[in-house]
C-alpha cells in the first residue's frame, strides 16, 4: 500500500497535483476549507465540498466527514476530501508527505513537523525554513522548478499571458454580494462563448461584464457571497479551446511534475518510504 500524501487545498491548481499523485498510485487525502472559492469549478476537486463528489478527467474526489472513512474511498479508487482548514487530521493520518497547495501567497499554518516531507507551492514559503521544498508557480521559464533553498518568485498580481492577454483574462467582483447567473436570452456559465462587454453575471445586482472575447473558462459558484475585488471569472481568448474548461491546465500539470520530483528526491535523500 502506498504512502499517504496530504494535500492542503483542492482548487484547480491543487487538483493538478492531486490527480498526478493519485494516478501515480499514492493515497492522496485532500483537505479544504468550508467554502472554497474556485473559479475553474469544472477542473477543481474542491467542488466536492458543495456537491459531495467532484470528477475531473475521470477521477472522483469524494467528501468524507471523518478521517476513518478515507480507507473505503481509497479502496474504491477515489480520493477522499475532508473539510479541515488547519489540516489537523495530519496528526491522525500520519502522512509521509504534506503539500500545501492553497496558493494563498502566504503560509496559512504549514510547518515542517507536520510530515517527514513538506512541500509548498508558490510564494509565501521558504525551502529550508517552513517547508522542505518549494515549487515555482509563476508562468514562464521557471514554472514547476523545485527549490530546495529559498523562496519562489514574488507574486506580481498579474496572471500569465495567454494568446497575448494577461490582466484582461481575469474578472474581479465590481461589488460585494451574492453571485447570480445570467439566464436569458441564453444561460451563461463555464464553457460559454462570450464577447467583450457582454453581461456574464451579477454581484449584488451589479452587472459583471466580459473583458474580452473568448470562452468563459471559470466562473465562481452561483450564490457565492463575494466581496468587492474578489476574483470571480476567467476568460480564455482562444474560443476554440472549450474542452480546456474541464481539464487540468498546462500550468497545473507543470506544478504537479515539480511536486512529484520533490517528493521522490527528498524521499530518496532521507530514506522516507513512499510505499
Give bridge partners of residue 60 from the DSSP assignment: 55
Q: H-type helices in 79-201, by residue range?
A: 90-93
* Positive or negative: CA dihedral 94, 95, 96, 100: negative
d(CA 196, CA 199): 9
Predicted pLDDT of residue 226: 96
Q: What is the pLDDT of residue 108?
A: 97
Chain centre distance of CA 224: 18
Residues in the chain: 275
Give the three cell numbers for residue 88. Answer: 489537523
Q: What is the pLDDT along the chain (275 residues), one digit of tens a residue?
A: 589 999 999 999 999 999 999 999 999 999 999 999 999 999 999 999 999 999 999 999 999 999 999 999 999 999 999 999 999 999 999 999 999 999 999 999 999 999 999 999 999 999 999 999 999 999 999 999 999 999 999 988 778 777 788 788 999 999 999 999 999 999 999 999 999 999 999 999 999 999 999 999 999 999 999 999 999 999 999 988 898 999 999 999 999 999 999 999 999 999 999 98
Q: What are the extents of the domains in the chain? A: 4-155+250-270, 167-237
75 CB-contact burial (10 Å; exposed 0-12 / middle 13-18 / buried 19+): exposed
Cβ pair 118, 112 in contact under 8 A: yes
Peptide bond into 265 cis (omega under 30): no
Q: Which fold has domain 167-237?
A: OB fold (Dihydrolipoamide Acetyltransferase, E2P) (2.40.50)
Pairing assessment for the beta strands 225-226 and 177-181 based on DSSP bridges: antiparallel
- CATH number for 4-155+250-270 (one of 3.40.1710, 3.40.50, 1.10.3470, 2.60.40): it is 3.40.50
Is residue 267 within 8 A of residue 256, CB to CB? The reply is: no
From first CA to last CA, the distance across the chain in angstroms is 6
In DSSP terms, 162 is beta-bridged to 165
Q: Residue 219 corresponds to which cell in the numbers above?
A: 466562473
Distances (CA, A) of 40 to 88, 95, 231, 233, 259: 27, 28, 11, 8, 21
Beta-bridge partners for 8: 31, 100
- The predicted structure's pLDDT at residue 123: 97
pTM score, whole prediction: 0.96
- Which grid cell sits at 34? 468550508
Torsion of CA 77, 38, 111, 30, to 10 degrees: -10
How far is the C-alpha of 54 from the C-alpha of 44, rounded, in Å?
8
Cα–Cα distance measured from residue 93 to residue 111, given in angstroms and rounded to the nearest whole number: 16
Amino acid at each position: 500500500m502506498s504512502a499517504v500524501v496530504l494535500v492542503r487545498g483542492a482548487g484547480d491548481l491543487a487538483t493538478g497535483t492531486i490527480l498526478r499523485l493519485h494516478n501515480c498510485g499514492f493515497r492522496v487525502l485532500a483537505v479544504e476549507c468550508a467554502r472554497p472559492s474556485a473559479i475553474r469549478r469544472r477542473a477543481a476537486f474542491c467542488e466536492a465540498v458543495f456537491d459531495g463528489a467532484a470528477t475531473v478527467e475521470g477521477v472522483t474526489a469524494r467528501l468524507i466527514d471523518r478521517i476513518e472513512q478515507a480507507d473505503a474511498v481509497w479502496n474504491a479508487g477515489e480520493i477522499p476530501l475532508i473539510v479541515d482548514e488547519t489540516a489537523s487530521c495530519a496528526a491522525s493520518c500520519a502522512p509521509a508527505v504534506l503539500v500545501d497547495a492553497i496558493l494563498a501567497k502566504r503560509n496559512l499554518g504549514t510547518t515542517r513537523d507536520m510530515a517527514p516531507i513538506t512541500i509548498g507551492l508558490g510564494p509565501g514559503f521558504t525551502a529550508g525554513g517552513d517547508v522542505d521544498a518549494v515549487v515555482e508557480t509563476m508562468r514562464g521559464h521557471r514554472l514547476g522548478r523545485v527549490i530546495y533553498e529559498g523562496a519562489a518568485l514574488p507574486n506580481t498580481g498579474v496572471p500569465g499571458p495567454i494568446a497575448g492577454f494577461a490582466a484582461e483574462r481575469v474578472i474581479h467582483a465590481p461589488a460585494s454580494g451574492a453571485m447570480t447567473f445570467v439566464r436569458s436570452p441564453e444561460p451563461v456559465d463555464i464553457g460559454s462563448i462570450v464577447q467583450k462587454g457582454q453581461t456574464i453575471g451579477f454581484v449584488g445586482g451589479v452587472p459583471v461584464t466580459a473583458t474580452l472575447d473568448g470562452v468563459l473558462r471559470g466562473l465562481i459558484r452561483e450564490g457565492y457571497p463575494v466581496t468587492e475585488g474578489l476574483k470571480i471569472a476567467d476568460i480564455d481568448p482562444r474560443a476554440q479551446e472549450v474542452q480546456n474548461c474541464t481539464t487540468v491546465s498546462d500550468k497545473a500539470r507543470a506544478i504537479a511534475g515539480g511536486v512529484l520530483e520533490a517528493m521522490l528526491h527528498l524521499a530518496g535523500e532521507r530514506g522516507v518510504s513512499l510505499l
